[in-house]
């Protein structure tokens, strides 16, 4: 497991290069100011597909919020060697105006892809 620390600005989109092949296992977020409002979100995605979403539950800054993995896409694999650029980075976007924030992305570098067995 690798932990990626990211400072993310207000209402922007950031792209974080992945260090190796893996998946986003968990996300923690601390909003740095009290400009955050309940239901503001920070979405981590592979391209246009969300893999984890942090939703603010209070308007207090400096509260640790935990992201929720997407039920369908939480296991999408990121790979710096992929031929598809969107698979090489974690895309981070906001909704609302949550202000500056620090993210801890727990990146599982033991991800694997199970291939279907070949028929004889």
pLDDT per position as a tens digit, 76-107:
999 999 999 999 999 999 988 888 899 999 99
By the 8 A CB rule, do 67 and 28 touch?
Answer: yes
Task: Summarize pLDDT for 26-52 with one digit per residue, the tens.
Answer: 999 999 887 889 999 999 999 999 999
Give pTM, 2 decimals: 0.88
| Residue ranges of domains in the chain, CATH in brackets | 2-108 (2.60.120)
| Alpha-carbon distances, residue 41 vs 54, 90, 115 (angstroms) | 5, 16, 35
């Amino acid at each position: 497991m690798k932990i990626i620390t990211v400072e993310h600005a207000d209402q922007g989109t950031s792209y974080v290069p992945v260090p190796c092949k893996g998946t986003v296992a968990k996300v923690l977020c601390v909003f740095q100011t009290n400009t955050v409002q309940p239901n503001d979100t920070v979405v981590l995605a592979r391209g246009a597909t969300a893999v984890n979403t942090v939703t603010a539950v209070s308007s207090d800054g400096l509260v640790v919020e935990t992201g929720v993995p997407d039920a369908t896409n939480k296991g999408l694999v990121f790979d710096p060697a992929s031929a598809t650029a969107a698979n090489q980075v974690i895309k981070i976007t906001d909704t609302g105006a949550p202000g500056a924030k620090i993210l801890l992305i727990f990146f599982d570098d033991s991800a694997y892809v199970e291939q279907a067995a070949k028929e004889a």
